[in-house]
Amino acid sequence: MKKANPVAGIWAYAEFGAVIASFLPIMAVSKLRHRGDPTQRVPGQWMRRLGRVATRLSTIWKFDIEGERPADIDTKGYVVVANHESQADPFLLCFLPWDMRWVAKESLFKQPLSGWAMHLGGDIPLRRGEGESVRACLQECERALEGGISVMMFPEGTRSHGGELLPFKDGAFSLAIAAGVPILPIALAGTRAMRPKHSRWFGKAHACAKILEPIATSGMTEADVPALREKTRTLIADALVELRPRYDSIDE
């Protein structure tokens, strides 16, 4: 894997910042108009447009989407889960062809520009390890799912240093069982070269999000969380075996 290019990285920061700043006024109006909507569908659509525009104006990233979207995902909520390789993951996930509300750690919402956009786009903050925050997050996720929109979570909780798939946490799977909705696994490959953990720069790379088969949770109880969690992790791990040789090794 090649090192990130500081020149390309500086351009990426400038371009991303300009795009976010141009979208914020529109997103503020959308947030105000749809403030009572538990799905935050329209504000979220503006957030994902922002991600797609920023990517398309970039000179350093190329994205592919593989797999088939569930036929009912426009009207039925899923708990969507993906492996977490890079800060570039959300940009790639913006190209998935359906609406979602995303769960992200609360500190990201405090960042200038990008954090403001996350708030205005209807994403859901979480302070990990704090019971009150976790309960509020899950309650908001359940409201969104009941409204017919999917919720996006990274069950690893953080990015690994070397790209290995970390153990999955229970939260996404408990939520899916409690809400009676399916899990939709997504495998991401190639994004680590775009922004490795602890790197200050964005790098040039080619990445892919592969949509895997949904996993039904009907009839499951909390006792089934470990099996559901490990089944999902195995599906993503197996998909990465096929994807990574095609994307992680692509020359810049």
Q: Are strands 205-211 and 183-189 parallel, antiparallel or unpaired?
A: antiparallel
Average pLDDT value for residue range 21-29: 97
pLDDT of residue 251: 43
> Does residue 249 surpass a pLDDT of 70?
no
Percent of the chain, pLDDT > 90? 73
DSSP 8-state class, residue 81: E
Among 89, 77, 80, 91, smallest CA distance to 212 is for 80
pLDDT digits (tens, 9 = 90+) for 142-188: 999 999 999 999 999 888 777 789 999 999 999 999 999 999 999 99
pLDDT tier, 128 (very low <50, low <70, confident <90, very high otherwise): confident
pLDDT of residue 162: 73
Among 7, 232, 29, 234, smallest CA distance to 121 is for 29
pTM of the model: 0.91
pLDDT of residue 147: 96
> Does residue 200 surpass a pLDDT of 80?
no
User: Does residue 250 or residue 235 have the better pLDDT?
Assistant: 235
Average pLDDT value for residue range 196-201: 64
pLDDT digits (tens, 9 = 90+) for 46-102: 999 999 999 998 877 899 999 999 999 999 999 999 999 888 899 999 999 999 999
> Does residue 2 surpass a pLDDT of 70?
no
Q: If phi over 0 gives left and psi between -120 and 50 gives alpha, with beta otherwise, what is residue 162? A: alpha
User: Does residue 127 or residue 212 have the better pLDDT?
Assistant: 212
Among 94, 100, 93, smallest CA distance to 73 is for 100
Among 48, 148, 46, smallest CA distance to 95 is for 48
pLDDT tier, 252 (very low <50, low <70, confident <90, very high otherwise): very low
> Does residue 236 surpass a pLDDT of 60?
yes
Instruction: Lay out the sheet containing 100-105: strands in order across.
Output: 61-66, 205-211, 183-189, 79-82, 150-153, 100-105, 124-126
Give a three-class secondary structure readout of 3-59: CCCHHHHHHHHHHHHHHHHHHHHHHHHHHHHCCCCCCCHHHHHHHHHHHHHHHHHCC
pLDDT of residue 13: 78
Give the count of beta carbons closer than 10 Å to the beta carbon of residue 27.
24
Partners of residue 103 on adjacent β-strands:
124
pLDDT of residue 201: 65
User: Does residue 209 or residue 191 have the better pLDDT?
Assistant: 209
- The CATH number for 6-247, chosen from 3.90.1720, 1.20.120, 3.30.70, 3.40.1130, is 3.40.1130
Phi and psi torsions of 151, nearest 5°: -120, 135
Q: Average model confidence (pLDDT) for the chain?
A: 90
